Structure 1
Amino acid sequence: MKKIISCALIAMMGLSIASTTAFADYARGQKLYLKFMKDATGIKGDAFAAQHTIAEWKGMCENEGEGFIKAMSSKFPSANDFLSGAQFKKFQPDICDFVIHYAKDSGNVPSC
């Protein structure tokens, strides 16, 4: 009985840790924007995120960021390498969470 309870507790702890890493993080997205996109766009994070509303960003971030890639690649050609690469696919949920969190109608202001 004690062994079953121990196994169940370990399984629950493992699942809770695994599930928290599956969610996007706007703070991580902000750091990723600064590292990979700020120089390519020439825009600070607050101005970049304030280009669109929450609804507009959400629309662009659907389908693995297809609309985001298309819009930002045409607007910022120097960011195209990053946007079309494997790194963006990996970081897209966090970057999208960042721009949605700090969209012009969100009321939030980033410090970058």
Structure 2
Amino acid sequence: MNKLLSILLVAALSASVASADAKAGQKAYLKTLKAKFNMNGTKFAADHTVAEWEELFANGAKGFIKEYSEKYPASAAVLSSPDMADKLQDVGDFAKEYGSDSGNVPSCG
């Protein structure tokens, strides 16, 4: 019984930590990238599937930076900035949490 309770507690804590990163990513997206990409957070997250987002945000988000710098040239400097490097993993968590095949819908517009 104790083992089951421990497993459930760890699972609940892990889920809340993942959610916190997605929330931070949502805030970073809305504050920094929404105007550059000219789309709300819901449309942005639905741009790719969860697996596609995982691939784009692998290796320090190099794929994401490349793709979105090409699609939105005005965003290239922001995406490549050292300040944004810390936020990109959170943006990735947000995108993966609400990817087009996730079944989740963010509460942002």
Per-residue CA distance 1:50-107 (angstroms, 9 max, x = gap) = 0100000000100000000000100111111110101221111100000000100001
Provide the secondary structure at the position in 1 that maps to 2:57: helix
Partner of 2:51: 55
For residues 65 and 93 of structure 1, what CA distance do their matches in structure 2 show?
A: 7
Q: Structure 2 regions of 5+ residues with no counterpart?
A: 1-16
Q: Does structure 2 retain, via aligned residues, the 8 Å contact 1:24–1:97?
A: no
What is the TM-score normalised by the length of structure 2?
0.79
**Cα separation, 2, equivalents of 1:71 and 1:24:** 26
Residue of structure 2 aligned with 1:104, choices 81, 97, 100: 100
User: What is the rounded CA distance, in whole Å, between the counterparts of 1:29 and 1:37 in structure 2?
Assistant: 10
Residues 24 and 93, structure 1, Cα contact 8 Å, conserved in 2: no
Deviation >4 Å, runs of 4+: none
Aligned to 1:95: 91
Sequence identity (%): 44
Distance in structure 1 (CA, Å) of the matches to 2:106 and 2:55: 21
Q: TM-score under structure 1 normalisation?
A: 0.77
Whole-angstrom CA distance in 2 between matches of 1:28 and 1:91: 8
Please list, as runs of the form range in 1=range in 2, the aligned pairs for 1:24-35 lying within 5 A after superposition: 25-35=21-31
Query: Structure 1 stretches of 5 or more lacking a match?
Result: 1-20
